[in-house]
Structure 1
């Protein structure tokens, strides 16, 4: 049995939460960003529900469960999988969908139509999506058969026109599907299993993300500046050199620097100067901005007339 499955909020969720906290309420695209945020949130919690269902399964002794997997197959092909299970017997790719309404599959067109409150919305067909992942994994010539499962995590969905030859079902049916796979014979030994895990993990790709203002053409002038409360997003008031207090929820923050500096890198640019720091966070002096940057976990690049700071690259 798997005792725990590690899954973290996607980086896109964290970035969007910070954007929504700083974006002016009147911004014309704010509702679109909120919709995108709630879609990512729903996807994450759907995946967590499936993770909990996987804990019910009695897996073989040698089993590895990877979540939110990004694999670089080659320079022009990177795939993202919700869950990848590796045993000595098989590989299983799980695609999770947390959707409500009526889903009608159109395998021939590569689309799935969702009907909700009389409104029809086209989605990328999850069959085509997961088949792309399978085909990419096959290019790696792995020593195990590869299986797939498309799992709907919500009970508030009706599935129509499901192709009979596709493993598409609700999450409560997932344990019995996996138990059938677990009856298969081992294909590799323990040494080969460990080597396979190392090979797949070495192929994992770290996505390099541009700041949201650059990615979505948002003017930095549309952002609320200043040091903000990490709980409610309102302005922090300086009480002393080491203490700040939220002007709304009255939270006491003794380390407002790190999460606010992250806002700048998530949203504005991947580098910052003392002048930019002073302006963005509405600091009273250049000295205060210098102190803030010095206290942050940043790399300092010295140029002729100014210093530029950037986030340390994690290896």
Structure 2
């Protein structure tokens, strides 16, 4: 049973919003594009792993994608799989080329196109997640659950190389196509249930309540200000800014296209790029609405949670919500990198 669906990472959503509002010639644009490609590559690797997990008996496992928790520090697990017998943390890597692991090293070497690059060792990374999640379970009084961890390489074209005295890494480092066999191996290792169905259900609910997607300050990351970005409502037909709100609909001045919902993407962009809260004034300024009455009408229709009264009212996102998330079907190949 999937308790937390696989979605685009928040960082990818933020990069998409940035590219949508960044002028084509902006000097930071190429850096954002590179980062987006990296986030998307990781996402597609996790899609591959999700495909293999889909063959598991639905009622025997709880599956969480991208679960973000807090021990002493925040940590995120690509996949967490829990059954009545054991829990398994999966770190997914979608990396091309040759990966070289040296015994006892915190660094992994990637060789691609005859170039060598040092990267964090994912085995050490998932070990840290193991320790943090173990502490989290102990703090929340969940005891007696065997905890395992794995690094899963999503593509068989990726070559893994190590020395003869370091072959034990392949107990914790596998290809995605071997994942079901590894889970079967763990089922045989932990043959008896360790927690009841009620405890398993309670743990699942507790994990979801503790999950926090944490939208970071992406403008600070790229050293941008709001003046670097284009405000207004984007026309989905011709990609021009800004549309005008006239007689209950958004109208594009360039191609004359109309829409009643074009502002939803703009609101999502605001939350992803600027702040987790907005006032009516900020809403009107960002969407370039010249009437406070129109702004109030549109803002109230979104049914966002709010706090405060009158002009001091602040509207905000519910916890762990991306207001207008993308999915793969809604993204045309290459459209973000033109």
* TM-score for both structures, normalised by structure 1: 0.85
The question of 1:281 aligning with 2:267 is answered no
Give how far 1:133 is off.
1.2
Partners of 2:110 and 2:126 in 1: how far apart?
18
Residue pair 1:105, 1:161 contacting (<8 A) in 2 also:
yes
Task: Name the counterpart of 2:62.
Answer: 64
Of the structure 1 ranges 96-105 and 271-280, higher mean CA displacement relative to structure 2 is found in 271-280
Task: Name the counterpart of 2:123.
Answer: 127
Give the alignment partner of residue 113 of structure 2, picking from 113, 117, 128: 117
1:100 partner SS: coil
Give how far 1:233 is off.
3.9
Of the structure 1 ranges 276-285 and 157-166, higher mean CA displacement relative to structure 2 is found in 276-285
Higher share of residues assigned helix: 2
Structure 1, unaligned stretches of length 5 or more? none
The question of 1:174 aligning with 2:175 is answered no
Partners of 2:81 and 2:308 in 1: how far apart?
43
Residue pair 1:99, 1:152 contacting (<8 A) in 2 also:
yes
Aligned length: 308
Give how far 1:154 is off.
1.8
Relative to structure 1, is the Cα distance of residues 275 and 67 closer, same or farther in structure 2, using a 3 angstrom cutoff? closer
Residue pair 1:100, 1:156 contacting (<8 A) in 2 also:
yes
Q: Deviations over 1:179-205 (max 9, x none)?
A: 111223222333443344344444x23
Give the alignment partner of residue 307 of structure 1, picking from 308, 312, 334: 312
Partners of 1:84 and 1:133 in 2: how far apart?
11
Higher share of residues assigned strand: 1
Alignment root-mean-square deviation, CA: 2.9
The question of 1:51 aligning with 2:50 is answered yes
Relative to structure 1, is the Cα distance of residues 120 and 276 closer, same or farther in structure 2, using a 3 angstrom cutoff? same
Partners of 1:111 and 1:137 in 2: how far apart?
23
Task: Name the counterpart of 1:152.
Answer: 153
Task: Name the counterpart of 1:100.
Answer: 96
Structure 2, unaligned stretches of length 5 or more? 321-338
Q: Deviations over 1:223-265 (max 9, x none)?
A: 0122113576432544842333456777542112222122122
Partners of 2:186 and 2:202 in 1: how far apart?
22
